Amino acid sequence: MKIILKRENCIGCGSCQALCPKYFELMEYGKAHLIGSKKSSQSEELEVSNLECIKEAAEACPAQIIHILKD
């Protein structure tokens, strides 16, 4: 599975980090970061084999910027 974080649309609420600190953290500029991801100018991507807490973080995100793509 691939997780995509549309970083440019992040509002910095911190719900992803609170629910899933293994994969998400807030950076000093106030936007979420997907730990261990590949970054592009507007998003971050990470391949995972187990969703663990990522699904809960995606559902809780008020900006809906966390997307899960299944292979």
- CATH code of the domain containing 39: 3.30.70.20
Residue pair 16/57 in contact by the 8 Å Cβ criterion: yes
Q: Could you give the 3-state DSSP secondary structure of residue 45? A: strand
Q: Give the tens place of pLDDT for each residue, 7-26.
A: 999 999 999 999 999 999 99
What residue numbers bound the domain in which 44 lies? Answer: 2-69
Report the pLDDT value the prediction gives residue 69, as an integer from 0 to 100. Answer: 95
Q: Domains in the chain: how many in total?
A: 1
Separation of alpha carbons 61 and 13, rounded Å: 8
- Rounded to two decimals, what is the model's pTM? 0.91
Give the pLDDT confidence score for residue 65 in this predicted structure.
97
Q: Is residue 40 very low, low, confident or very high in pLDDT (cuts 50, 70, 90)?
A: confident
The number of CA neighbours under 13 Å toward the Cβ of 52 is: 12
Q: In the predicted model, what is the mean pLDDT of residues 35-62?
A: 93
Q: How far apart are CA 69 and CA 14, in angstroms?
A: 22
Gap between the Cα atoms of 25 and 47, Å rounded: 17
